[in-house]
């Protein structure tokens, strides 16, 4: 079982993400990249199965394994056809067979959990703790995202690619309205943010990395705030909180993740939209409709938090991450009020 408590473990987790992004970005051999993607998936799933102690959702895990295995087979099949039949060893940079390109892209979208391959995600997250949620939502998606970024410039679809992001955001927002567990909220929220990450993939590599690491930071804040708890948060706990201070930080986190002004995430999402080359007015309208679903989801989260008051199951957020004093205040100010700085 991998424990993510404390400053050293947090540093190891972040360094692991950095190494994963670096390896997937610099590896020249596509077969090694595919092996890295499958190894990371195997590591995360083994960690979830071993640490769950037999209390996990077996049907959800089996379905998730099936979808992930199918996605990996599609990527491997398209890669092998390109190399063995067409003699093309530059799979990510220049595809010869258009069918292999789309087959590989579909396999990577399945690995990422894009629409409509998302159903099993919240079924698994409903029964794991917040530390496992953090690992489950980040590690398996890094390599497929980098691979898809290398392929998306060859997909001659234009604005049609935004349909996937739109559907993901809309579905996650509507489905999240009926959730009563914070881990389910995080699952649907992560699915919606994945839609925005997909938008960043269609832009520059810098936009993709910056938006991804910003989301990583906020997700880690949320997971460390709830201190690895694995209980149903909203209906089944009371008298275990830290009072209004923790609730205020939690509300700020929700505001920030929702992408509302003046928080930094709002301006990041605007920057993502205008950094995409095939941006049109129709795309803007579609993304606004999709964002409305996410907005309703975060309003629901804030409603639950305010109604619970001081019974929130929170721990001192920045202290658990090893940040104290002026350093903690600086990090908090930059990420939560950094959007105001862009207007000055």
pTM of the model: 0.75
Dump pLDDT digits (tens) for 217-235: 878 777 776 654 444 444 4
Residue-level pLDDT at 243: 44
Residue-level pLDDT at 259: 67
Choose between 312 and 59: higher pLDDT: 59
Tell me the mean pLDDT in the region 42-51.
79
d(CA 264, CA 227): 25
HEC assignment per residue over the chain: CCCCCCHHHHHHHHHHHHHHHHHHHHCCCHHHHHHHHHHHHHHHHHHHHHHHCCCCCHHHHHHHHHHHHHHHHHHHHHHHHHHHHCCCCCCCCCCCCHHHHHHHHHHHHHHHCCCCCCHHHHHHHCCCCHHHHHHHHHHHHHHHHHHHHHHHCCCCCHHHHHHHHHHHHHHHHHHHCCCCCHHHHHHHHHHHHHHHHHHHHCCCHHHHHHHHHHHHHHHHHHHHHCCCCCCCCCCCCCCCCCCHHHHHHHHHHHHHHHCCCCCHHHHHHHHHHHHCCCCCHHHHHHHHHHHHHHHHHHHHHHHHHHHHHHHCCCCCHHHHCCCCHHHHHHHHHHHHHHHHHHHC
Residue-level pLDDT at 150: 79
Q: Best-predicted range by mean pLDDT among 100-109, 154-163, 278-287?
A: 100-109
Residue-level pLDDT at 57: 55
Choose between 255 and 107: higher pLDDT: 107
Choose between 295 and 85: higher pLDDT: 85
Residue-level pLDDT at 241: 41
Dump pLDDT digits (tens) for 85-116: 877 777 776 777 778 888 888 888 888 877 66
Choose between 141 and 257: higher pLDDT: 141
Q: With 50 as the cut, is the pLDDT of residue 258 above it?
A: yes
């Amino acid at each position: 079982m991998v424990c993510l408590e404390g400053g050293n473990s947090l540093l190891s987790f972040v360094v692991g993400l950095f190494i994963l992004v670096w390896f997937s970005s610099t590896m020249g051999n596509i077969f090694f990249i595919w092996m890295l993607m499958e190894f990371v998936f195997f590591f995360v799933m083994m960690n979830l199965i071993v640490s769950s102690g037999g209390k996990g959702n077996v049907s959800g895990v089996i379905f998730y394994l099936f979808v992930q295995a199918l996605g990996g087979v599609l990527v491997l099949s398209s890669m092998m056809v390109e190399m063995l039949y067409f003699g093309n060893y530059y799979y990510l940079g220049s595809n010869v067979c258009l069918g292999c390109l789309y087959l590989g892209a579909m396999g990577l979208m399945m690995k990422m959990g894009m629409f409509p391959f998302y159903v099993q995600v919240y079924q698994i997250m409903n029964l794991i703790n917040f530390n496992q949620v953090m690992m489950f939502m980040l590690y398996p998606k890094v390599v497929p995202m980098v691979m898809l970024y290398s392929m998306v410039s060859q997909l001659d679809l234009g604005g049609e690619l935004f349909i996937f992001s739109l559907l993901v955001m809309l579905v996650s927002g509507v489905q999240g309205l009926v959730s009563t567990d914070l881990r389910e909220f995080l699952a649907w929220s992560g699915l919606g943010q994945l839609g925005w990450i997909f938008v960043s993939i269609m832009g520059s590599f810098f936009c993709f990395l910056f938006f991804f690491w910003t989301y990583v930071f906020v997700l880690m804040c949320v997971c460390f705030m709830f201190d690895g708890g694995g209980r149903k948060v909203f209906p089944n706990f009371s008298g275990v909180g830290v009072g209004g201070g923790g609730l205020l930080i939690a509300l700020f986190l929700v505001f920030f993740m929702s992408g509302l002004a003046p928080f930094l995430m709002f301006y990041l999402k605007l920057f993502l939209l205008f950094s995409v080359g095939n941006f049109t007015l129709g795309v803007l309208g579609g993304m606004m409709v999709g964002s409305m679903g996410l907005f309703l989801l975060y309003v629901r989260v804030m409603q639950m938090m305010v109604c619970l008051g001081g019974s929130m199951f929170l721990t001192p957020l920045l202290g658990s991450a090893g940040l104290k004093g002026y350093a903690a205040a600086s990090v908090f100010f930059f990420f939560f009020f950094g959007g105001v700085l862009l207007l000055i």
